[in-house]
Amino acid sequence: MALSCKHPHLFNHIRTFVNVKVKWVQDPYLDNAVLKEKDLKQTISLRNQIISSPSKSLSIYTASQLKASLNLPTTTTKFVDKYHCVFSQFQPGPGLPPVVKLTPLALSLHKEEMAVHNSPINREDTVQRLARLLMLAGMSKLPLYVIEKLKWDMGLPHDYVTTLLAEYPDYFDVCVVEDPSSGKELLALELVSWKKELSVSEIEKRAISLGYSGDKRRHDIAFPIFLPKGFDLEKRVKTWVENWQKLPYVSPYEDAFHLDSNSDQAEKWTVAILHELLSLFVSKKTERDNLLCFGECLGLALRFKKALVHHPGIFYISNKIRTQTVVLREAYRKDFLVKNHPLVGMRYWYINLMNKT
């Protein structure tokens, strides 16, 4: 898609943000939003393995073999014992190895979660967000390993390939792409056709709701900025941010690779992609490595790294839970999401169950 511009001097704006180090300041509320989900993804992943088994149970030996792939923080036995309200062990017979299964409460929660996944409203929402994810990729194709990395953040069902994609042939197709680094063929997910009605970013929707339209909207869209208490930008950084916010907004669904990659305008487009990507996630956050993996597919990994550091009022990087997690600041008030997705509500119930003594 060619990007038309009535103000070329603005779109070719040179980079003015040079050699300025923006300090990182801890945000205890957003750190807590991340900490609350400690071991949650691993718990759900182990649950999925148990549910996928024909007997709805796994021997402890089999479960132990999954420790690395599930990224468990300790041995499987210790993990199962720690979250005894989610998992239970039993001896199927004399001399046989212990078996782990879900507790009645966990099984009940799983059924409720499946009802959320299968509800028509949520299925349509999931399909549209997945389509927009592919549209953000520009070429409308993403290797399946990238989808797998983002599956948790997107709120996709565990078995989404067979239970979701197959039912939307007018949206998705599985194809083969070549890995540019290795030359090997990879399975990828392809958007069958561009969905113009979906190519409006969340921040554009907000601007439209305020009455902006046409080219005027490009110049009036600024990113919401939320800085934590005690955080003060240097004067020259503050001035740069104010001028940068006044640059035209370029939709993340538009091709803006013609812009000078070192320009402020190109950085605003990069921030627009990151902002929209995080907006597509059910909890408006993800591991930094996941963003960079997506960025590599677009050839924007280095730009992603710089943008995340340059804009602490838009993105927060938490160092909790043995990783770095990028949080979209505007999506949270203190440590709570402003708008809860139904799946996030289900995850909170799991957290409650995990924390029961």
Whether pLDDT at 300 is above 70 = yes
Residue 10 lies in a domain: no
Are 233 and 324 in a shared domain? yes
Give me 99's structure tokens: 């078996």
Are 121 and 134 in a shared domain? yes
Are 206 and 317 in a shared domain? yes
**Which stretches of the chain are assigned E, i.e. beta strand?**
57-59, 87-90, 99-102, 141-143, 172-178, 185-191, 285-287, 315-318, 325-328, 332-333, 336-337
Q: Which residues pair with 317 in a beta bridge?
A: 326
End position of a domain, from candidates 83, 104, 125: 104
Are 291 and 204 in a shared domain? yes
Residue 333 lies in a domain: yes
Q: What is the mean pLDDT of residues 74-96?
A: 92
Tokens 């890995």 belong to residue: 179
- pTM beyond 0.85: yes
Are 320 and 216 in a shared domain? yes
How does residue 5 score in pLDDT terms, banded at 50, 70 and 90?
very low
Are 287 and 231 in a shared domain? yes
Q: Residues with Cβ < 8 Å from 344, sequence gap 6 or more? A: 282, 283, 337
> Residue 122: which H helix or E strand, with range?
helix 120-136
End position of a domain, from candidates 144, 162, 191: 191
Instruction: Give the pLDDT of residue 16.
Output: 61
Residue 94 lies in a domain: yes
Q: Which of 46-60, 173-187, 270-284, 291-305 has the lowest mean pLDDT?
A: 173-187
Q: What is the mean pLDDT of residues 276-304?
A: 96
Q: How many distinct structural domains can be found in the chain?
A: 3
Are 124 and 162 in a shared domain? yes
Are 211 and 282 in a shared domain? yes
The domain that contains 97 carries what CATH number? 3.30.420
Helix (H, G, I), strand (E, B) or coil at 95: coil
Whether pLDDT at 20 is above 80 = no
Are 280 and 220 in a shared domain? yes
Residue 136 CA to residue 22 CA, distance in Å, equals 28
Residue 4 lies in a domain: no
Residue 2 lies in a domain: no
Residue 149 lies in a domain: yes
Q: What is the mean pLDDT of residues 206-218?
A: 69
Instruction: Give the pLDDT of residue 91.
Output: 87
End position of a domain, from candidates 191, 213, 240: 191
Whether pLDDT at 164 is above 60 = yes
Instruction: Give the pLDDT of residue 57.
Output: 95
Residue 176 lies in a domain: yes
Residue type at position 157: P
Give the range of the structural domain holding residue 44, as residue numbers without chain letter. Answer: 40-104
Is residue 56 a contact partner of residue 101, using CB atoms and an 8 Å limit? yes
Are 44 and 143 in a shared domain? no
Is residue 190 a contact partner of residue 141, using CB atoms and an 8 Å limit? yes
Q: Which of 66-80, 163-177, 215-229, 300-314 has the lowest mean pLDDT?
A: 215-229
Tokens 């290797």 belong to residue: 143
How does residue 235 score in pLDDT terms, banded at 50, 70 and 90?
confident
In b/e form, how buried is each residue of 261-294, taking b as 16+ CB within 10 angstroms? Answer: eebbbbbbbbbbbbbbbbbbbbbbbbbbebbbbb
Are 132 and 229 in a shared domain? no
Are 44 and 31 in a shared domain? no
Whether pLDDT at 345 is above 60 = yes
Residue 6 lies in a domain: no
Whether pLDDT at 12 is above 50 = no
